[in-house]
Structure 1
């Protein structure tokens, strides 16, 4: 909410956000088994997410031939932009992003190395003879991977402990 209050573009969406947050807080206080602040926070956060989704869903309407928000477009846009910005400031998010970047770049290097990946042998059979440049094939193949599979493949090529360090190779 603080991010909304500081941003002139999204400030007008703050009252609706406060209303939703107060409702979530009130509902969380009604929970029977609140024995720790972690339990309260978990219930409040689930309720907040649920109420935001509900408010935005109920606000959807056809504007011309486009599905759009009738009254809460700034709330939706603000949540998307400001929360993304706030999350990027968190150290663990930065580390997760750096780890993902290391995996993607590493896999791209492996799959585009013509000595290591001779004739595209490391690609699935259906990608080997497409006629596309190897860089395009590698990018398409990597982008279609689930993160857990990409990480698994990275470890196959670089070693099991290769992701233990984010800096220095």
Structure 2
């Protein structure tokens, strides 16, 4: 019985070690983790020795390295926004998808609704205006907080 118990403990520990990965973020931080899955622009993982599930934005992670097989997977490319003309590179995220990114500020704008303009075209115009302001600041990510005629506001994020 004692040998069976030791064999069980050994096989359980080997399974934990075999799942060890290394996450490299775009700001060159390295974390040893047990990779779980990628879903909804998030990378789910657990810290070795813990069963608590944690998550980080897929956009904050550059690479996922599997240590046991020396295998590397590119998770996301770094987005460089250099000016207003790069507004198409700016990505709109949900608040829950910003884990691991750094908040860099709040941007606001005014975009008046013209007579006869549809709500859809107004929302698209407001989003474009926010993306242009974020691109001017060099921020590749935004979370839109408000997109109404009187109040267009977003939070900007960087690596």
Name the TM tier (shorter chain).
under 0.3
Higher normalized contact order (CA 8 Å, seq sep 6+, divided by chain length): 2
Bigger CA radius of gyration:
1
Structure 1 or 2: more strand by fraction: 2
Q: Which has the higher helix share?
A: 1
TM-score calculated relative to the size of structure 2? 0.24
